[in-house]
Amino acid sequence: MRTLHSRCGDNKWPKTFVFLAAWGFDHATLNGKPLYQDYEMHFMVTQGIRDRKTLRVNYPMANKRPPAGEVNPATQQIDFYIRSPRQNPRNRPNREVFTHFFGMEVTWKMNQVLDARVNHMNDLCTGASANPCTGT
């Protein structure tokens, strides 16, 4: 895990742990049609930062210090950002396009994928499945 936004958070986000994150350039489509090409994209899965009812980030919390800080470690959320390469100083953040999506629930299914691969390898070893090299 990685601490997000330095050791003490920043003026928009509290200090939290990042379980998974990625940055890069990519494209986006909407209903199968190109929407953005070669835009900066970023996602992160973190501890719960948003209020589950209002969906707002209540930060900083005035005169309130829960034991886990200003996050809910029992929940996780995903944030996804799309930023245009072109900047526009009239916007905040200063991008021509800045889109932010978020999801309030994260479900990990890694074990199912790993189990399927292990079972497939077991089938190959016992001959219960076709040999991937010969097809027999």
What pLDDT shows up at residue 121? 53
Helix (H, G, I), strand (E, B) or coil at 115: helix
Find tokens 């219960």 and name the residue: 128
Which pLDDT band holds residue 133 (cuts at 50, 70, 90)? very low
User: Helices (H), strands (E): how many in the chain?
Assistant: 1, 5
Q: Which two tokens stand for residue 44?
A: 């992160």
Residues of the domain holding 129 = 108-136
Per residue in 106-126, pLDDT tens?
A: 888 766 555 555 555 555 555
Least Cα distance to 76 among 41, 102, 112 occurs for: 102
**Phi first, then psi: what are they for 130, rounded to 5°?**
-65, 145
Residue 32 is predicted with a pLDDT of 92
CA–CA separation, 129 and 134 (whole Å)? 11
Q: 67 and 6, same structural domain? A: yes
pLDDT tens for each residue of 40-52: 999 999 988 888 8
Q: What is the pLDDT of residues 57-74, one digit of tens each?
A: 877 677 666 655 678 888
- Give yes or no: residues 24 and 78 share one domain: yes
Question: Looking at this protein, which amino acid is placed at residue 119?
Answer: N
User: Same structural domain for residues 49 and 86?
Assistant: yes
45 and 101 inside one domain:
yes
